[in-house]
Chains A and B, each alone.
Chain A
Amino acid sequence: MLTQVLLQLTVVVTLMVLVSIAVFVGRYRLRDTRLEWRARVRAAAPVTALLAAVLLFNSVARQYGPDVSWMIHWNLTWPIYDVEGEFILWLQSFEAPAITAYFSFIYIYGYVFLLVFPVIAYFALSNTRPLRELLTAYTLNYVLGLGIYVFIVAYGPRNMMPELVDALLYDTYPQYQHLTRQVNRNTNVFPSLHTSLAATVTFLAFRTRAIYPKWFFLATGLGVSVAISTMYLGIHWAIDVAAGIVLAYICVVLAGVLVGRWSVTAWIATLRDSSTSRSTGSGTGTDTKPDADPNPGSSSGSSGSSGSEPNADAGTRDTTPSESEPETGSDPEPERA
Chain B
Amino acid sequence: MSDPAPSASPEHHTHASDDAARSGLSRRSMLAATAGLTVSTSGCIREVRSIVNRDEVEPLSLTISTVPADGDRESIQLARAVGSALESVGVDIAIDMLSHEEFRRAILVNHDFDLYVGPHPGDTTPDFLYELLHSRFAEEAGWQNPFGLTNLALDDRLDAQRVAAGGTGNGDGDDTNENTDREDAITATLESVAREQPFIPICRPTEIRLARSDRFEGWGDGHPATRFGYLGLEPQSEDAAAELRTVNTDARPSQNLNPLSAEYRERNIVVGLLYDPLAVTQWPANGGGAGAEVGVGDGDEESDADTDTPAEPDATPDLTPWLAADWEWTDDETLSVTLRDDCAFHDGTSLTAEDVAFTYEFLADTTRGSRRFSAPAPHYRGHVAAIDDVTEVNETELEFTVATSQPVAERALAVPILPKHIWDERTDQASLRGVTVAEGTTEALVTDNVPPIGSGPYQFEDRTDREHVTLARFDEHFTRRDGVDLPKPTSERLRIQIDPRSTSAIELVESDSADVTLSTLESYVVDDVFEDDEEIPETTVLESPSWSFYHVGFNARKAPFSNPRFRRVVAQLLDKEHLVEEVFHGYAEPIATPVVEEWVPDSLAWNGTDPETPFLGTDGDLDVAAARDAFEEAGLRYDDDGNLRVRH
B88 surroundings in chain A (CB, below 8 A): none
Q: In the complex the two chains form, is B503's CB within 8 Å of A77's CB?
A: no
Q: In the complex the two chains form, is A160's CB within 8 Å of B96's CB?
A: no
Interface mask (B48-74 → A, CB under 8 Å = 1, otherwise 0)? 000000000000000000001110010
Q: In the complex the two chains form, is A163's CB within 8 Å of B524's CB?
A: yes
Q: In the complex the two chains form, is B77's CB within 8 Å of A162's CB?
A: yes
A181 to B504, CA, bound (A): 12
Q: In the complex the two chains form, is A174's CB within 8 Å of B96's CB?
A: no
Interface mask (B76-90 → A, CB under 8 Å = 1, otherwise 0)? 110010000000000
From residue 497 to 540 of chain B, which have CB atoms closer than 8 A to chain A? Answer: 499-501, 503-504, 506-508, 511, 513, 524
The chain B residue with its CB closest to the CB of A163 is: B77
Complex partner residue of A162 from B69, B466, B500, CB under 8 angstroms: B69
What's the least CB distance linking B81 to chain A, in Å?
10
Q: In the complex the two chains form, is B97's CB within 8 Å of A181's CB?
A: no
The chain A residue with its CB closest to the CB of B63 is: A78
Q: In the complex the two chains form, is A75's CB within 8 Å of B97's CB?
A: yes
Given A63-B465, A75-B96, A78-B95, A160 contacting B69 (CB threshold 8 A): yes
Q: Does A335 contact B (CB under 8 A)?
A: no
Q: In the complex the two chains form, is B97's CB within 8 Å of A170's CB?
A: no
Given A160-B69, A161-B80, A77 contacting B97 (CB threshold 8 A): yes
A11 surroundings in chain B (CB, below 8 A): none
What's the least CB distance linking A274 to chain B, in Å?
44
Q: In the complex the two chains form, is A187's CB within 8 Å of B69's CB?
A: no
From residue 401 to 445 of chain B, which have CB atoms closer than 8 A to chain A? Answer: none
Q: Does A158 contact B (CB under 8 A)?
A: yes
Q: Does B129 contact A (CB under 8 A)?
A: no
A175 surroundings in chain B (CB, below 8 A): 504, 507
Q: Does B94 contact A (CB under 8 A)?
A: yes
A78 to B582, CA, bound (A): 23
Q: Does B102 contact A (CB under 8 A)?
A: yes
Q: In the complex the two chains form, is A163's CB within 8 Å of B582's CB?
A: yes
What's the least CB distance linking B437 to chain A, in Å?
14
Complex partner residue of A1 from B73, B97, B465, B513, CB under 8 angstroms: B513
Interface residue total, chain A, C-beta cutoff 8 A: 27
Complex partner residue of A70 from B77, B99, B503, B582, CB under 8 angstroms: B99
Q: In the complex the two chains form, is B76's CB within 8 Å of A177's CB?
A: no
By CB atoms of chain A within 10 A, which of B68, B524, B582 has the most?
A: B68
Q: In the complex the two chains form, is B76's CB within 8 Å of A159's CB?
A: yes
Q: In the complex the two chains form, is B582's CB within 8 Å of A159's CB?
A: no
What's the least CB distance linking B51 to chain A, in Å?
35
B70 surroundings in chain A (CB, below 8 A): 159, 186
Q: In the complex the two chains form, is A78's CB within 8 Å of B94's CB?
A: yes
What's the least CB distance linking A173 to chain B, in Å?
9
What's the least CB distance linking B430 to chain A, in Å?
15
Q: Does B583 contact A (CB under 8 A)?
A: yes
Q: Is the interface of A mostly helix, strand, loop or mixed?
A: helix
Q: Does A82 contact B (CB under 8 A)?
A: yes
A155 surroundings in chain B (CB, below 8 A): 68, 97
What's the least CB distance linking B383 to chain A, in Å?
31
A75 to B583, CA, bound (A): 25
The chain A residue with its CB closest to the CB of B70 is: A186
Q: In the complex the two chains form, is A160's CB within 8 Å of B68's CB?
A: yes
B101 surroundings in chain A (CB, below 8 A): 70
The chain A residue with its CB closest to the CB of B498 is: A181
From residue 134 to 162 of chain A, which have CB atoms closer than 8 A to chain B? Answer: 155, 158-162
What's the least CB distance linking B412 to chain A, in Å?
35
Q: In the complex the two chains form, is A186's CB within 8 Å of B507's CB?
A: no
What's the least CB distance linking B242 to chain A, in Å?
20
Q: Does A171 contact B (CB under 8 A)?
A: yes
Complex partner residue of B69 from A63, A158, A178, A181, CB under 8 angstroms: A158
B503 surroundings in chain A (CB, below 8 A): 170-171, 174, 177
B507 surroundings in chain A (CB, below 8 A): 1, 174-175
From residue 62 to 98 of chain A, which have CB atoms closer than 8 A to chain B? Answer: 63, 66, 70, 73, 75, 77-78, 81-82
A73 to B106, CA, bound (A): 12
A247 to B582, CA, bound (A): 39
A66 surroundings in chain B (CB, below 8 A): 99
Q: In the complex the two chains form, is B508's CB within 8 Å of A1's CB?
A: yes
A73 to B101, CA, bound (A): 13
A187 surroundings in chain B (CB, below 8 A): 99
The chain B residue with its CB closest to the CB of A79 is: B94
A294 to B466, CA, bound (A): 51
Q: In the complex the two chains form, is B69's CB within 8 Å of A159's CB?
A: yes
By CB atoms of chain A within 10 A, which of B76, B102, B504, B582 has the most?
A: B504
A160 surroundings in chain B (CB, below 8 A): 68-69, 76, 80, 95, 97
From residue 570 to 604 of chain B, which have CB atoms closer than 8 A to chain A? Answer: 582-583
A160 to B69, CA, bound (A): 6
What's the least CB distance linking B252 to chain A, in Å?
13
What's the least CB distance linking B183 to chain A, in Å?
40
By CB atoms of chain B within 10 A, which of A75, A167, A181 has the most?
A: A181
B97 surroundings in chain A (CB, below 8 A): 75, 77-78, 155, 159-160
The chain A residue with its CB closest to the CB of B582 is: A163
A181 to B505, CA, bound (A): 14
The chain A residue with its CB closest to the CB of B507 is: A174
B524 surroundings in chain A (CB, below 8 A): 162-163
The chain A residue with its CB closest to the CB of B525 is: A171
By CB atoms of chain B within 10 A, which of A155, A159, A161, A162 has the most?
A: A162
The chain B residue with its CB closest to the CB of A170 is: B501
Q: In the complex the two chains form, is A181's CB within 8 Å of B500's CB?
A: yes
What's the least CB distance linking A283 to chain B, in Å?
48
Q: In the complex the two chains form, is A82's CB within 8 Å of B504's CB?
A: no
The chain B residue with its CB closest to the CB of A82 is: B94
What's the least CB distance linking A244 to chain B, in Å?
21
A177 to B77, CA, bound (A): 22
Q: Apart from A159-B68, A162-B77, what are 20 other A-B pairs with CB-CB below 8 Å?
A: A63-B465, A75-B97, A77-B95, A78-B94, A78-B95, A78-B96, A81-B95, A158-B69, A159-B69, A159-B70, A159-B76, A160-B95, A163-B77, A167-B501, A170-B504, A171-B501, A174-B503, A174-B504, A175-B504, A177-B504
User: What are 10 inter-chain pairs, A to B, with CB distance below 8 A?
Assistant: A1-B508, A75-B97, A78-B97, A160-B69, A162-B76, A163-B77, A170-B504, A177-B499, A177-B503, A178-B499
Which A-B residue pairs are the 8 nearest by beta carbons?
Answer: A159-B68, A162-B69, A174-B504, A174-B503, A159-B69, A155-B68, A177-B504, A162-B73
